[in-house]
Amino acid sequence: MELFTPEFGLVFWMFVVFIILFAILAKYAWPYIIRSLDERAELIDKGVEYAQEAKAQLDNAQADAKALLVEAQKQQMEILHEAAQMKNHIIEEARQAASVEAKKVMDAAAVSIEQARKESELQFRREVSEFALQIAEKMMRKQLSDDKTQVEMIDKLLNEIENKN
């Protein structure tokens, strides 16, 4: 029956047409379409994921900001505290340094005063002994010779006077 016997001409043309159609579509259309479909599906998936992430981030943002503010305040307090401590420390150090310096100056002054006093005392004593000698000489020139015992006695007397002072 002719309905069930394939005609060679039609088989030939069908083969040619189908192969050409397949070759053209497989080269220029399908790979591009399939790639685009896959890419678009991926893009949509990524978009949804991104949106979800963005929403979650937005929700967290306020909490983050609050935490940041608290942290900043804490840091500020710390810095102020440190500054105050440093100020006290510096003042304390300066004070100590000043007192040490002052003490040094006072000590030096005391030493020099003591020296001056001793010197002047020595001077004074020399002068007094000279005066006393002159006086005694003048007084005793006549009565006394330049006796050594006499001088010693006078010196002893002068020591006594000095100790009294």
Partner 1 sequence: MAFAFPLSAAEKAGGEENTFNPKETIFEHLLDGYGWELPFSHEHRIPLPVIVRDYKGDWNVFMSHRLDHGQAYNGFYIAQEGPNKGKVEGVDDAGNRYRPLDLSITKNVLALIIAALVCAWCVFSVAHWYKKRRFKAPKKGVGAIEFLIEFVYTGVIKSTLGDKAPRFAPYLLTIFFFILLMNLLGLIVIFPGGANLTGNIAVTMVLALCTFIIVNVRGTKEYWKEIFWPDVPLWLKFPLPIMPLIEVFGIFTKPAALMVRLFANMMGGHMIILSLISLIFIFSALGAVVVGFTTVISVLFSLFMLMIDTLVSFIQAYVFTMLSTLFIALAQVEGHHEGKVEKVEK
Q: Which stretch binds partner 1 (CB under 8 A): 12-20, 54-62, 129-137, 146-154?
A: 12-20
In DSSP notation, 47-88 reads: HHHHHHHHHHHHHHHHHHHHHHHHHHHHHHHHHHHHHHHHHH
Length of the chain equals: 165
Toward partner 1, which CB reaches closer, 35 or 74? Answer: 35
Site for partner 1 contains 37 (CB under 8 A): yes
Q: Which is nearer to partner 1, 2 or 160 (CB)?
A: 2
Mask: binding to partner 1, 17-36, rule CB under 8 A, as x and -? xx-xxx-xxx-xxxxxxx-x
Per residue in 112-136, is it b (16+ CB within 10 Å) or e — as a string? eeeeeeeeeeeeeeeeebeeeeeeb
| C-beta closer to partner 1: residue 3 or 63 | 3
The nearest distance, CB 32 to partner 1, in angstroms, is 5
Q: What is the DSSP letter of 145?
A: -
Nearer to partner 1, 32 or 124 (CB): 32
In the complex with partner 1, which residue's Cβ is closer, 43 or 97?
Answer: 43
Q: What DSSP state is assigned to residue 28?
A: I
Can you tell me the distance from the alpha carbon of 55 to that of 52, in angstroms, rounded to the nearest whole number? Answer: 5
Residues 6+ apart with CB under 8 A from 125: 162
51 counts as binding partner 1 under rule CB under 8 A = no
Binding-site member from 5, 145, 149, 165 for partner 1 (CB under 8 A):
5
Instruction: Output the smallest distance, CB 51 to partner 1, in A.
Output: 16
Q: Nearest distance from residue 68's CB to partner 1, in Å?
A: 38
What separation, in Å, do the N-terminal and C-terminal C-alpha atoms of the chain show?
A: 169
Which residue ranges make up the site for partner 1 (CB under 8 A)? 2-15, 17-18, 20-22, 24-26, 28-34, 36-37, 39-40, 43
